[in-house]
Amino acid sequence: MIAHLFNAPLGESEAAVGVGTVGSSEAIMLAGLAFKRKWQNRRKKEGKPCDKPNIVTGANVQVCWEKFARYFEVELKEVKLTEDCLVMNPAKAVEMVDENTICVAAILGSTLNGEFEDVKLLNDLLTDKNKETGWETPIHVDAASGGFIAPFLYPELEWDFRLSLVKSINVSGHKYGLVYAGIGWVIWRSKEDLPEELIFHINYLGADQPTFTLNFSKGNYTS
């Protein structure tokens, strides 16, 4: 349902790729890990070093991005905010992208003021840069607070999988009420965007369960 809501390009009988998480923080750790592993695999294949990954965000990112960077050893490159722009400036973000950038993270609903970042412009500028350089720098959208607002209030706004470089999106369930605290999701655009080796197959109570989470048990049930 969420993948469809975010316009994932799924065929008729194709299953969506995503996971229920404890909240957007866990969802972001997982999305970040997938980007890091994909980038490392690509660099290894090209015979290039893969020990200095970085991620580009606005300086307005929520603290879980700093946690991701520190715990998973990725340099966080933040676009500075200015008095007249309290969110990430897409042009400045794309300028900061280099061959070691695992993704650019945009926020739909900045924690500071609720403002949506311009994901469409970011996608256009990054597409041009990727063409020039041959890199394949992707975009993650942190839609923790805007993911269940934008599709309903601004259905024409292109911020989700309609944009070709958007490879994953997270959203929190508990920011909207009527659920227990501790629920969120991360959705990937397609199977190719989540490296297979990150998925654990466990046989629990007699059936194969593919899992990609940091926690095994959690205080809510999603499938």
Q: Name the helix (H) or strand (E) containing 90.
A: helix 90-96
* Residue 164 sits in the site that holds ligand PLP (CB under 6 A): no
Residues 27 and 186 sit within 8 Å (Cβ to Cβ): yes
**Amino acid letter for position 167:** K
117 lies in the binding site for ligand PLP (CB under 6 A): no
Q: Can residue 111 be called a binding residue for ligand PLP (CB under 6 A)?
A: yes
| Closer of 111 and 190 to ligand PLP (Cβ) | 111
- Crossing angle of helices 63-71/24-45, nearest 10°? 40
Distance of CA 185 to the CA centre of its chain: 10
Minimal distance, residue 153 CB to ligand PLP, in Å: 17
What is the secondary structure of 136-161 as a DSSP string? Answer: ---EEEE-TTTTTTHHHH-TT---ST
| Stretch near ligand PLP under the rule CB under 6 A, chosen from 77-85, 103-111, 114-122, 198-206 | 103-111
CB of 26 to ligand PLP, least distance (A): 7
Collapsed DSSP state (helix, strand, coil) of residue 58: strand
Strands 75-79 and 139-142: unpaired
Q: Which range of residues in 36-44, 69-77, 97-105, 106-114 is near ligand PLP by CB under 6 A?
A: 106-114
Residue 145 touches ligand PLP, criterion: CB under 6 A: yes
Of 22 and 43, which CB lies nearer to ligand PLP in the complex structure? 22
Nearest of 113, 103, 196, 140 to residue 24 by alpha carbon: 140
Using CB under 6 A, count the residues that bind ligand PLP: 13
* Shorter beta-carbon distance to ligand PLP: residue 27 or 100: 27
Considering only residues 124-143, where is the footprint of ligand PLP by CB under 6 A?
Answer: 142
Please report whether residue 184 would count as binding ligand PLP according to CB under 6 A: yes
Least Cα distance to 26 among 223, 216, 218, 214 occurs for: 214
Q: Please say which residue, 126 or 171, places its beta carbon nearer to ligand PLP.
A: 171
Q: Could you list the residues that contact ligand PLP (CB under 6 A)?
A: 23-25, 62, 64, 107, 109, 111, 142, 144-145, 172, 184
